[in-house]
Amino acid sequence: METPGNPTTIVYRLREALARVSTVIRADDWERAKRAGINPTQLAIIELLDGRKGGLGVKDIAAHLGVSQPTATDSIGALERKGFVEKRAIAGDRRAVVVALTASGKAVLDVDAMTSGAADQAVRALAAEEQDGLLLTLIRLIRALQEADAIPIQRMCASCRYFAPFAHPRAARPHHCRFVDAAFGQRELRIDCRDHETADPASRAATWEAFQAG
Ligand code: SF4
């Protein structure tokens, strides 16, 4: 019998815990998608395209969602038929297209933002310092997954060319965003910022080192 004195590894148990949370988030996503008359993959595509004015190619969409290109293509087709996304030609390349959100697609998210699922409520119930710690831990996990090429680069501050970590070392809001030229705190670190621009690999590494050191 498994006892506290003979546990599975911490990595295994953390994976179990993340899987449980992920199950609830997936169930929440089904509810949110149902309200919009779409499925969770289609909702994920709409969320991914939100704020990406230049759109994304099918290959990038598939990589971000962790699905095959045929699956992404099917979902994009369904969204296009509903008028939530449109395909646009890329200037100078007759064969290449990007997929972009339409005003109707954007409206899906505006309606959706008015609700919150069980996972949101559970996170909201955590103490502020627990939320801060969880955010930092998740940023580290996401970055490690990026470095391992398990997921594409996300639009996080940690990979952004505008991010100056601990530019104001002793202030309550220690970081600086050069895009809006303003200081911000740990709690405001972004996971998916619309204004993000990916820094080059050397700058990303230096920024991460400064962030960790702070
Ligand atoms: S532009 Fe966005 S991602 Fe970049 S540093 Fe500013 S807040 Fe962070």
Q: Is the model's pLDDT at 110 over the cut of 80?
A: no
Q: Do residues 79 and 149 both lie within one domain?
A: no
Residues 67 and 139 in one domain: no
Q: Is the pLDDT of residue 91 over 80?
A: no
* CATH for 20: 1.10.10.10
Structure-block tokens of residue 132: 């801060």
| Residue whose CA is at the smallest distance from ligand 1 atom 3 | 157
Residue percentage of the chain with pLDDT more than 90: 75
Question: Please, which pLDDT band fits residue 36 given cuts at 50, 70 and 90?
Answer: confident
Q: pLDDT tier at 32 (50, 70, 90 boundaries)?
A: confident
Q: Considering only CA atoms, which residue is closest to atom 5 of ligand 1? A: 163
Q: Is 211 in the pocket of ligand 1 (CB under 6 A)?
A: no
Q: Pocket of ligand 1, candidates 135, 168, 190, 203: which has the most ligand atoms within 8 Å of its Cβ, to mutate?
A: 190
pLDDT of residue 89: 85
In a domain, 136, yes or no: yes
Average pLDDT in the 160-181 region?
95
Residues 6+ apart with CB under 8 A from 41: 65, 67, 71, 75
- Choosing from 67, 82, 112, the residue where a domain stops is 112
Residue 108 has pLDDT above 60, yes or no: yes
Model confidence at 2, in pLDDT bands (50, 70, 90)? low
Element (H, E) at 86: strand 85-90
Average pLDDT, the chain: 91
pLDDT of residue 114: 57
Residue environment code for 27-44, b if the CB has 16+ CB neighbours within 10 A, otherwise e: ebbeebbeebebebbbbb
User: What pLDDT does residue 112 have?
Assistant: 61
pLDDT in tens, 131-169: 999 999 999 999 999 999 999 999 999 999 999 999 998
In short, whether 163's Cβ falls inside 6 Å of ligand 1 is yes
Query: CB of 153 closer than 6 A to ligand 1?
Result: no
Give me the domain span that covers residue 52. 10-112
Structure letter (DSSP) for residue 152: P
User: Do 107 and 173 share a domain, yes or no?
Assistant: no
Q: What percent of the chain has pLDDT over 70?
A: 95
Q: What is the pLDDT, as a whole number, of residue 115?
A: 62
With contact defined as beta carbons under 8 Å apart, do 46 and 108 qualify?
A: yes
DSSP state of 6: S
Indicate whether 108 and 136 sit together in one domain: no
- Looking at the fold, whether 73 and 157 belong to one and the same domain comes out as no
CA of 45 to the centre of ligand 1 (A): 22
* Per-residue pLDDT at 50 exceeds 70: yes
For ligand 1, the distance from its centroid to the CA atom of residue 191, given in whole angstroms, is: 9
What pLDDT shows up at residue 23?
96
Number of domains in the chain: 2
Query: Please, which pLDDT band fits residue 113 given cuts at 50, 70 and 90?
Result: low
Question: Same domain, yes or no, for 70 and 153?
Answer: no
Contacts of 26 (CB under 8 A, 6+ apart): 40
Question: In degrees, to the nearest 5, what angle opens at C-alpha 144 toward C-alphas 185 and 26?
Answer: 85
The residue out of 112, 140, 171 marking a domain boundary is: 112
Residue 4 lies in a domain: no
pLDDT score for 111: 66
Q: Which helix (H) or strand (E) holds 175?
A: strand 175-177
Give the DSSP H/E element, type plus range, for residue 97: strand 93-101
